[in-house]
Amino acid sequence: NAGVMQNPRHLVRRRGQEARLRCSPMKGHSHVYWYRQLPEEGLKFMVYLQKENIIDESGMPKERFSAEFPKEGPSILRIQQVVRGDSAAYFCASSPPMEGQTEAFFGQGTRLTVV
């Protein structure tokens, strides 16, 4: 059973370009979470999705950021018109379709660098 797969591992974008980060959850997991880790900081919650639904996006910046988790395919975190401050590591986590607290399994992250 493969773990949570994120790609690409490293992404370089020029200011103003779009960044698309992909996350394939573990097999059988239907809950996906995105976190952002700025340099020298802990992870910050961004968004919680279930298949075709955004459950909680309270940590998402109001502009330029969007996330989806379609019925088929990976979850996508999209950042439009990137700026230098978007440079960070973005982690995806997945958990099983169960109510309540279950272990979240993290991917290895995508490290975005905006130049």
Partner 1 sequence: AQSVTQLDSHVSVSEGALVLLRCNYSSSVPPYLFWYVQYPNQGLQLLLKYTSAATLVKGINGFEAEFKKSETSFHLTKPSAHMSDAAEYFCVVSPNKAAGNKLTFGGGTRVLVKP
State the residues that interact with partner 1 by CB under 8 A. Answer: 4, 31, 33, 35, 41-45, 48, 56, 91, 93, 95, 99-104, 106-109, 111
How far apart CA 65 and CA 46 sit, in angstroms, is: 10
Nearest distance from C-beta of residue 16 to partner 1, angstroms: 27
12 versus 83: smaller Cβ distance to partner 1:
12
* C-beta separation of 76 from 21 below 8 A: yes
Structure tokens at 11: 């992404």
Backbone angles phi, psi at 58, to 5 degrees: -65, -20
Give me the torsion for CA of 54, 68, 80, 45, rounded to 10°.
50
Residue closer to partner 1 (CB basis): 11 or 104:
104
Toward partner 1, which CB reaches closer, 4 or 79? 4
Q: In this structure, are residues 57 and 47 in contact, taking their beta carbons and an 8 Å threshold?
A: yes
**From the CB of 21, what's the least distance to partner 1, in Å?**
14
Sign of CA dihedral 109, 110, 113, 114: negative
Nearer to partner 1, 19 or 32 (CB): 32
Q: What is the smallest separation between the CB atom of 67 and partner 1, expressed in angstroms?
A: 14
Q: Min. distance of Cβ 112 from partner 1 in angstroms?
A: 14
